[in-house]
Structure 1
């Protein structure tokens, strides 16, 4: 069993076999000796250690790093003897290696992700990130940005700033690789070697051109300051937006709750000059339980989105940490529950029309010697002090009469001849069960009267207040004796179905 050692590499903790640790330590020491101890060399060494640490983390998460793992990394990066300082060889060799390095390429596979490239940036690394994403020289995007900045009257600058904020910075090796499409572990090693050579080349170039390095450092610092300032502005804008969202959502929720709490008064004041007639319409068509279920369902379906918006507004203001998935799933479940409750209530209302019932009553007319029977319409509406039409619902009409809500329907009149002088009033209705249907039919009010040979019939039947509207109908079957004729007033003839 090999002895293991806990090490810290670039701020990351790893468990490594002792033999593997000695091989890695010897490799890094050799590189340090070849590069020297100046500041630039230390930066290059730190970059190499960071790449190796990220590669360890990618290859072995939570496991023990073995000697074979270290050897594979060293093989892909290259032995210290293969890393040759350009100053130690002739110009021809340097040109050859430089040409070979520039023509080498890494085969990337998989989907690319859009990041800002911090290793090849001038301001924010946006153009370099776009170049990596589209596999185009970043210089092309920089030229396009510079030219269009003047041609577009500053629109390109706004677009650049938006991309600067929207595109994340490629900080880790995995993000740098993903920026170019992602590669296999073997290709990752080849990429590390190329990155190391690029860092070494950049180090020597910067050592020979200090003015450029100072200029880019100042530009980078300016870019960081601009980015921080932009983030602060976005934070302030987010707080202002959050305050507006919170105020709007709170007012909406209060309005929603207030509407359902005082809907009778509000509807009465809005539509009927203080009389709560329209607010009484649901009481004539729906039971108290159905209205309660629909109210609860409406509060869930409409109110839950307002609560979610309120939560998002508070989060924009206070930026608190929360279980977003839990809150989202809870809100979704409650909202779906409201939808289900709406369908359940709809089915419940539909079932209240399931059964049909009828009540029939025979009325014998008083004998008359007249050879002609006259059917006249009752004129009781004329005596009403205050009667106002409201609306039609199916075959019914709704009226306001002396402050009360009246639901009326037109009867069907059938006339036939027979041995008897009588009238059969057949009232029909629907309900949840037979008893409920019979009650809704029996409580339907219809009036008539007789004065010798004149029969007065109401032009409308009225649904009683204690009954729900359930497709009530009134069918009047009038039978006159043989040998007598009948005369119908012009108004009633529209109700006659058979004659």
Structure 2
């Protein structure tokens, strides 16, 4: 059981715990030591004691004042170190012995604070005015004018300063905001801040119609507060409903896209060209697509779910485990980021290994003196194809709603004893087997009619293979003594002859 003491403070009787009394007495004595013992300092001490008495009377009417109450009030008014620094107090005391003017002025460090007592929005301009000892109206005019000229830049700067500048809550912070104050001004500040309104109310309470007007004012104030609360509540519910509808539609759209992405991508292009649906299958494995879909859902979907939760909380005002939900959402979102990185590394590794498939064909001997190389007539429908894009040495087309991926072969001409052709197909993959599979499913067509060899100008990557840097090298060996004639349409594909 804590021991209690009865004290009288500024004409009020209070019952206070012994620990709380010792803390309060220590606080006031420290203030007296730091402020000095002249008339103005004593006025400041008296004003602070009066303010403490008012706060005690407000917080504990008939109850015992605890140590926590004293600590809270000291935090509100400010610690002695916040009001007068110890070194500055000693300097002031020593200077007071030689001059009388220095003893009445406390000169401390000047810091940026937002002024809550002279604010229109956040008190930034008022804080800047106090810091630079300039009328805040100057900064407000500058802010308005530059806002009109800067097209929204100044409001962003204002918001940043609002966040960065702390609010001057205690008396010490208010003094520090102005960088210096006389004891007289300090006392005036306390009087103006804490006693002016109460003194007027005391005079007004003596009037006979005060209680009747007070009751009416209380009822009116309660009605206005209730109306304002209801209005804000309705606005919050409407805002919450809008947020919930928007987030639900966004989540449904996201889920629907992943569930029916092939159909959606197919319908995205008109005239029956549904090639977009096959694009992921041509460049990514099913595992990569699954991992990338999961990662995208986490990265994009988690914020929508958090917004949905906030909207529901705004509507129903339920008490949820906000920290737990927030941490869980953050962990899942970071997991999505990690999964995106992991999938990207996996896709990059699918180009590591190189596979090579070689096909050797013996050509029919011809009695003709000249061998002719001509392009194959396999592009009769080439005019019906729509060019899409280039990708490295490959070209993408759409034909009859299908995606076609083609590349240009490299043709080499050599001379030897035999009339033969070798086709080397190369591709990349996650491992050697996969790379050889991608190379094997690279289609290159050719044919021969006596002394004429028809060569395709393009090779095609089959649907079964992933696009992995496929290349085709064609080597034709011409027998000695034979002449070679190459069609102009094949000139650009032939390396040397």
TM class by smaller structure: 0.5 to 0.7
**Alpha-carbon distance in structure 2 between the residues aligned to 1:401 and 1:200:** 87
- Alpha-carbon deviations, 1:183-228, whole Å to 9, x = none? 9xxxxxx9899858986787666655667x9699799867786566
**Alignment length (residue pairs):** 395
Please say if residues 358 and 429 of structure 1, whose CA atoms lie closer than 8 Å, have aligned partners that are also in contact.
yes
- Alpha-carbon deviations, 1:14-50, whole Å to 9, x = none? 75369979x9xxxxxxxxxxxxxxxxxx999654545
Partner of residue 57 from structure 1, selected from 52, 65, 68: 68
Counterpart for residue 271 of structure 1: 269
Counterpart for residue 43 of structure 2: none
In the alignment, structure 1 residue 389 sits paired with structure 2 residue 383: no
Query: Structure 1 pair 417/494, CA: closer, same or farther in 2 (3 Å)?
Result: same
**Alpha-carbon distance in structure 2 between the residues aligned to 1:355 and 1:491:** 34
Q: 1:493 deviation in Å?
A: 1.2
Partner of residue 174 from structure 2, selected from 174, 180, 196: 180
For normalisation by structure 1, the TM-score amounts to 0.64
Counterpart for residue 322 of structure 1: 320
How do 1:404-483 and structure 2 match up within 5 A?
404-483=402-481
Counterpart for residue 18 of structure 2: 16
Query: Structure 1 pair 286/220, CA: closer, same or farther in 2 (3 Å)?
Result: same
**Alpha-carbon distance in structure 1 between the residues aligned to 2:120 and 2:398:** 71
User: Is the partner of 2:404 in helix, strand or coil?
Assistant: strand
For normalisation by structure 2, the TM-score amounts to 0.64
- Alpha-carbon deviations, 1:408-464, whole Å to 9, x = none? 222111112233322111111111111221222122221211111100111221222
**Alpha-carbon distance in structure 2 between the residues aligned to 1:308 and 1:426:** 55
Query: Structure 1 pair 253/404, CA: closer, same or farther in 2 (3 Å)?
Result: same
**Alpha-carbon distance in structure 1 between the residues aligned to 2:472 and 2:216:** 90
Gaps of 5+ in 1: 24-41, 62-72, 74-102, 118-124, 146-166, 168-173, 184-189
RMSD in angstroms over aligned alpha carbons? 5.0
Q: 1:261 deviation in Å?
A: 0.8
Please say if residues 6 and 14 of structure 1, whose CA atoms lie closer than 8 Å, have aligned partners that are also in contact.
yes
- Alpha-carbon deviations, 1:107-136, whole Å to 9, x = none? 88776455469xxxxxxx979x89996669
**Alpha-carbon distance in structure 2 between the residues aligned to 1:229 and 1:107:** 48
Please say if residues 386 and 401 of structure 1, whose CA atoms lie closer than 8 Å, have aligned partners that are also in contact.
no
Counterpart for residue 32 of structure 1: none
Query: Structure 1 pair 112/217, CA: closer, same or farther in 2 (3 Å)?
Result: farther
Gaps of 5+ in 2: 26-49, 73-79, 81-102, 141-161, 163-167, 178-184
User: Is the partner of 1:243 in helix, strand or coil?
Assistant: helix
Counterpart for residue 494 of structure 1: 492
How do 1:55-454 and structure 2 match up within 5 A?
56-57=67-68, 112=113, 114-115=115-116, 175=169, 177=171, 180=174, 229-274=227-272, 276-382=274-380, 388-394=385-391, 395-401=393-399, 404-454=402-452
Please say if residues 113 and 180 of structure 1, whose CA atoms lie closer than 8 Å, have aligned partners that are also in contact.
no
